[in-house]
Structures are given as C-alpha cells and as structure tokens.
Amino acid sequence: MRVGAIVAIVLMAMAVGGGVGLAQQRTPLLPEKDVAGLADELSGETAKRNLEVIATFHRQRGSRGFHAAAELVAERARAYGLSDVAILQFPADGKIFYGTQRSRPGWDAEEGDLEEVKDGKDGKERTAETRVKIGSYGAMPIVLAEDSESADVTAELVDVGDGTKDADYAGKNVKGKIVLVGAQPGAVQDLAAGKFGAAGIVSYAQNQKTAWWGEDENLIRWGHLETFSPNKTFGFMVSLKTGRGLRERLARGETIRLHALVKAGQHASNYEVVTATIPGADAKLKEEEIAFSCHLDHQRPGANDNVSGCVTILEVARTLQKLTSEGKLARPARTIRFIWPPEIEGTLALLNGKPEFARRIKAVVHMDMVGGGPATKAVFHVTRGPRSLPSYVHDVAWAFAEFVNEESYKFAATGSADYPLVAPEGGKEPLQAQFSAYTMGSDHDVYQDSSFGIPAIYLNDWPDRYIHTNFDSAANIDTTKLKRAAFIGAASGYFLATLGRQEVWLRTAILQGNELRKSQADSRVWKLGFDDVCIDYDERIAYEKAAADSTKKFTAQSLASVLTETGVGCERPPGRVPERAEIYRRKAEPKGPLAVFGYDYFTEHAKAAGLATPKLLSYEGLWGGGEEYAYEVLNFADGKRNAQAIRDAVSAEYGPVPLEMVTEYLQALEKIGIVERVK
C-alpha cells in the first residue's frame, strides 16, 4: 500500500476515534507487549518437530494411520495444558448423512504391491520367471489409490490414453486386463472396470497443473477411486517417468504382464475430530468461541498439505496456553477452541453432529498449507471470505499479515528489524503475504457456507509444486514460515477472543482492508461492460458497509460509519434487464455446501430428479468457475434477493454471468428441495 494511503487512513481513524495513543502504537491492534510475547514464544522448530512425526502416518479418513495421528495431537494438547481435550467420534458407514455430506466408510490397506512379471525367456533358452517391483504400499503408501479393493491379479497391461471416454477403448480388449491411464483412477473406473471389464488400473496422473506441471518426472501423485462407485477395483499410481516408459514399450508392440496384490478395503468406521480449548475468562463471553482449524488427514507424508496447518495451530495452542497461564497475556474473554478433523467431511460431521459448536463459534482461523519453503514455489495468502458473508475479521488478519510483511522485508533488506520473526533453523526471506479474494478448496468453505455463516480467516500456500505427491516432505518445510503463519493466526485469534469494545486501531484495520479491496477491484474494472461496472460498484459498497457493520457481533457497535464512500455513484444506461420477481431462500436443512468430499449432493439428487446438468456448473467467468458460482448463488439465496439480484452479486464477485444460467440453477435447487421461492 502506498505511504500516502496509510497516512490518510490513520488520519481518518484519528478523526473518528480521537487519535488516542496512535502516535505511540508501533504494532497493529494488540499492545506491543502482547505482540512481543507472541513473537518471542512461538517456535517454528517446535512446530516442525511435531510435523516430522505426524508426517510418518498415512492419514486416510477412518484409518489406523489417522487414528494414530489423532492420538498424537491429543497427547501433545494435554501435555501443553489445554482443557477439554477429546477425540470426538462420528459414525461413518456410507449411509449416515451429516448435512450434505454422505459419510464415507473408513479405508485401510495392509498390502499393495505391483510387479512386472517377466516371461522367463532368454533368447532360445527358457529361464526362471522373474518379477520386477514397480510400486509397494509398504515402502511408499501413496502408490496405492485410496479406496482400492483387495485383489490378486496377473494380467496384461493395455494403454488406453486418458481412459475417460469410450473412444479411448475403441478397438482394445481390456476385459480382465489392467489398463494404463493418464487420468485419476476415480475418473476412469466406471468405464474401465464397469463398462469394459478391466481388472484394475495403473495411473500416471500428474499433480495440479501449475507452472511446474510435468517438470519433475519422478513425482507420484496421490490417487483416488470413487468411494461410492458400484464398480469396485484397485488402482496403482506411478510416476510420469514410469508411465511414459510403459507407454513407449507398449507402443513398440511389447507385451507387459503385471501382478497386482492388494489387501485393502472400506469398512464401517468413525470420523475422528480432535478438539481442545483455552476457556474464556468472561462469565458471559466464554460461551462464545474463536476456533482454529486445519485438516489432519491426507497421504504420507503430506507435510505441507496439511500437517503444516495442524502443527501450526498446535503451536498457537501451546503458546497461548503458556503465555496466559504465566500471566504474560491476559486470559481471553472468549473461549479459544482448536479443531483437528478430516478435511471438509470431518468439519461437516462436527457442525451437523454437534450443532452447539456451530452456535458458539463466532469466527475461525483456518490453516491449510502454511509451511512451504522456497523449493515449493509457494505464495502465502491471507484469503478473504466470500462476498456473501461480509466480515471485518479478514481485515484483522490482514493487519497482522501486513505487519509481518513489513517487518520481515525490513529485516531481509537491512539485517535489522524489531520483529523479524525468523526461526533459528529457517530462512530469512521476506514473507510477502498476499491479501487475496475468496478461493475454495478447504474447510473454510464449510464454515462460510450460508448454513452456518461463520466468517473464516484462511491462511494458505498456493501454488505448491509438490502438493499431493511423494515429495511433499518435511525437508521442504521452512520453520520461519511456520513461525510467521503461527504469529498471524495467534495474534488474529487472540485479538478476536479479547475484543469487546470499539478500538481506534480496529477502525484503522477496517479502513485499510477497504482501501486495498477498492484498489484490487479498480484494477479489474476495465474488463467489465458499463452496466457490470455499476453492478460491481453497488455490490462492493454494500459489502464494505456490511463488513464494517459485522463488528456488532463482537462489540455490539457497528463501525460502518468509518467508511467515507457509502453512496451509489454510478448511473446506468437505459435498457437494463428488468428485475425478476422470483425471490429464493435456502431451506434450513440440509446444512453444508453441495459439493463436499468424495460425494456430490447436487449431482446425486439432480440425477434422481431427472434434471439435466445446469449450464452454470461448467461456466467460466473472468475470476471464477462453475463451482464458485454455484457456491455463491446458493449462499446469496437469503430470502431477500431475487434471481436478478443474485446474478448481480455473483457477477461482481466472479465476473458477468447470464441471468438465465443463474435462474436455471436456482430452479434446479428448488426441484431437489434445497431452496424455496418466497412471495
């Protein structure tokens, strides 16, 4: 942010708040002694030592590996002196629903070996049959696709390209054979195993397509089969190098025989959610909670995704408990809760299975990938919430993140800073955190869904060249990054847990966030048509007023008056589409986003109702895709907005979208019982 802008913001804050103490305040929102206490106590090394242990577990939902990780986190939480430590259990058998999430049975594997079987011919002489190991679950669990079923098969390998369409199998007999595919196993199993009778799958599917996609041929990506597919089979994951080698040999006319031995399968189990608290000190406010969340599941090692987030909130818990018990920090008025669930499905089980949690939680600090060192190519984001849920809590997080940016850059550039937040074993690079618009993909989607309406600060790395691969290891985690993420999270959560009155520096944070969002919005306006510019302006002003007004949930006082730009200053040309009368409201049940983890509520129910796939789900806007549009269309169905108003709101957020697409999707939601029309 420009220096002039910062000065202007401070002057405005002084005007509305009297300027008390501003000249002496060197740290954002919290007193300097509190900032210093957090900066001194938080340890990236302690977090990484915990990470190195948890990363040894293959942490699939409902598995022995996940349970071992949960037990370790609970043991650490008890050792750190936290209260109410528990591992909550929610039955998961494939039939029970938690809101929109169909519970997925647990999955465990004991063995998974893939070998090439040589035919034993050496020229004219026949020799003993030999086997060459291609992959072993025991050595590297990531090679066996999640939800694989037991098998003992020796069969020829057939290359079917990506394997995702009928044409890939044309002229190829794959019945009883193993198919080599370029797509994820779950994307091909119904065709390969279900329609064409393949015995199993070998996939060389690569990581998410960032700039580094395909650069390292040795990466093996975490693979998945579809949990609820009737076509049960097994899948093995191999590197791009191995996959290309197999394809080249098959193209030359070689016959390749593989032996797959798998002992694995689904079983009735439980979602396990570790939780612990630091009880609030205020007799009334202690019933309110500020939550820290992550997700504890994923493949081994899964160091950045997401052991990093889980050990960082564990380090926040250790630090806050220690400092408050020693009297170095005042005990927070609100209870601070820490939550370690399986990703998305565990959070849905928690909020639906124990609705009192959803009622108590006022805000969440969610961490998913916060430790990526230079090799990961990660950019650190402080991600705002969706436009459907305006909140000032993101401005709080950004105030602390910007402070870390400035201090860490000053240290990197000059070798001296008051709060460099550098870990002894970590790097010295500046953080350069980004204040980013809402993106989906983790548990923050659940909290901020309109069913729950809980604002979430989302701290995350993206891109990460090693996500979901065998190279997502502890060696690529930077202790300085862990310490800085812990500081931003701890300071934000502690501030929200202690906030009980208007403070001039909170006003300053809101104004800073407002100015930065305005600057980011202005930079993209040139891509819009004239009418869409007006819509964007209207929606932005409405969002900013509501975000500043959201302080009432914490302080009983609105700070909307600090904003100077509150009117509508955009005159529309004639001929705008007339507003439609249909007003939509989401029903109270089921709660949760419609596209969850391993299950798509909308797709299954739309299919049962005989509905065609709405065009919105495959639409690509200027800044968002079908998933984002669908998420926010449902969130904006609040009983106040009609279809036109919902269209305007999502257009301002993700880029212009035709009204007809929004209306078609709303009508589909109505037919499957998710929304209803309001007269």
Q: Which CATH number fits domain 106-267: 3.40.710.10, 1.10.20.60, 3.30.1180.20, 3.50.30.30?
A: 3.50.30.30
Sign of CA dihedral 439, 440, 444, 447: positive
Task: Mention every residue, 6+ apart, whose C-beta is less than 8 A from residue 410.
Answer: 416, 417, 420
- Please give the pLDDT value at position 531: 77
DSSP letter assigned to residue 126: E
> Residue 439 above 80 pLDDT?
yes
- 45 to each of 307, 326, 339, 486, how far by Cα in Å? 14, 22, 21, 12
pLDDT tens readout for residues 45-84: 999 999 999 999 999 999 999 999 999 999 999 999 999 9
Pairwise CA distance, residues 369 & 343, whole Å: 12
- Please give the pLDDT value at position 26: 77
Within its chain, how far is the Cα of 618 from the centroid? 21
Per CATH, 30-104+269-502 and 106-267 having the same topology is answered no
Mean pLDDT of 458-475: 97
Pairwise CA distance, residues 333 & 500, whole Å: 8
Within its chain, how far is the Cα of 401 from the centroid? 19
150-154, 317-321, 534-538, 579-583: least confident range: 579-583
- Please give the pLDDT value at position 8: 34
> Residue 114 above 80 pLDDT?
yes
- Please give the pLDDT value at position 18: 37
- Please give the pLDDT value at position 535: 85
Pairing state between β 361-368 and 289-293: parallel
Task: Mention every residue, 6+ apart, whose C-beta is less than 8 A from residue 593.
Answer: 100, 445, 446, 449, 631, 634
**Tokens linked to 395:** 């401005």
Q: Which own/partner contact pairs does 76-79 have at CB distance under 8 Å and 24+ positions apart?
A: 76/50, 76/314, 76/318, 77/274, 77/276, 77/314, 77/317, 77/338
**What is the secondary structure of 544-563 as a DSSP string?**
HHHHHHTTHHHHSS--GGG-
- Considering the domain 30-104+269-502 in this protein, what is its CATH number? 3.40.630.10
Beta carbons of 234 and 210 less than 8 angstroms apart: no
Pairwise CA distance, residues 241 & 117, whole Å: 19
Tell me the one-letter amino acid at 28.
P
Of residues 169 and 23, more confidently modeled: 169
> Residue 1 above 80 pLDDT?
no
**Tokens linked to 615:** 């065009």
pLDDT confidence band for 15 (50 / 70 / 90): very low
> Residue 544 above 50 pLDDT?
yes
Beta-bridge mates of residue 322: none
**Quick check: helix, strand or coil at residue 520?**
helix
- Output the pTM of the full model: 0.94
**Quick check: helix, strand or coil at residue 450?**
coil
> Residue 579 above 80 pLDDT?
no
- Please give the pLDDT value at position 121: 65
> Residue 528 above 90 pLDDT?
no
**For residue 213, how many other CB atoms are within 10 A of its CB?**
14
Kind plus residue range of the DSSP H or E element containing 107: strand 106-118
Pairwise CA distance, residues 362 & 358, whole Å: 8
> Residue 335 above 80 pLDDT?
yes
Region label for 94, one of left (φ > 0), alpha (ψ between -120 and 50) or beta (otherwise): left
Pairwise CA distance, residues 420 & 411, whole Å: 6
**For residue 121, how many other CB atoms are within 10 A of its CB?**
10
Q: Which residue has the tokens 């032996």?
A: 259
What is the strand order of the sheet 583-586 is part of? 638-642, 583-586, 675-678
Mean pLDDT of 31-37: 96
9-13, 345-349, 382-386, 446-450: least confident range: 9-13
pLDDT tens readout for residues 643-670: 999 999 999 999 999 999 999 999 999 9
> Residue 379 above 70 pLDDT?
yes
* Backbone φ, ψ for residue 663 (5° rounding): -65, -45
pLDDT tens readout for residues 216-263: 999 999 999 999 999 999 999 999 999 999 999 999 999 999 999 999
Beta carbons of 261 and 102 less than 8 angstroms apart: no
- Please give the pLDDT value at position 7: 33
Beta-bridge mates of residue 113: 136, 261
Q: Among 400, 384, 630, which residue's Cα sits nearest to residue 494?
A: 400
Q: pLDDT exceeding 70 applies to what percent of the chain?
A: 92
| Domain extents in the chain | 30-104+269-502, 106-267
pLDDT tens readout for residues 348-378: 999 999 999 999 999 999 999 999 999 999 9
Beta carbons of 449 and 385 less than 8 angstroms apart: no
Q: At what angle do helices 64-79 and 44-54 cross, to 10 degrees?
A: 150
- Please give the pLDDT value at position 14: 34
Pairing state between β 456-461 and 380-383: antiparallel
> Residue 12 above 50 pLDDT?
no
**Tokens linked to 75:** 């043991």
CA 141, 307, 233 angle in degrees (round to 5)?
30
- Please give the pLDDT value at position 213: 86
Mean pLDDT of the chain, nearest integer = 92
Pairwise CA distance, residues 205 & 203, whole Å: 6
**Quick check: helix, strand or coil at residue 542?**
helix
Q: pLDDT exceeding 90 applies to what percent of the chain?
A: 82
- 399 to each of 312, 413, 511, how far by Cα in Å? 19, 21, 10
Mean pLDDT of 144-164: 98
Mean pLDDT of 635-639: 97
- 406 to each of 2, 397, 414, 429, 510, how far by Cα in Å? 13, 14, 12, 12, 18
* Backbone φ, ψ for residue 333 (5° rounding): -70, -45
Q: Among 505, 479, 492, 488, which residue's Cα sits nearest to residue 434?
A: 488
8-17, 79-88, 444-453: least confident range: 8-17
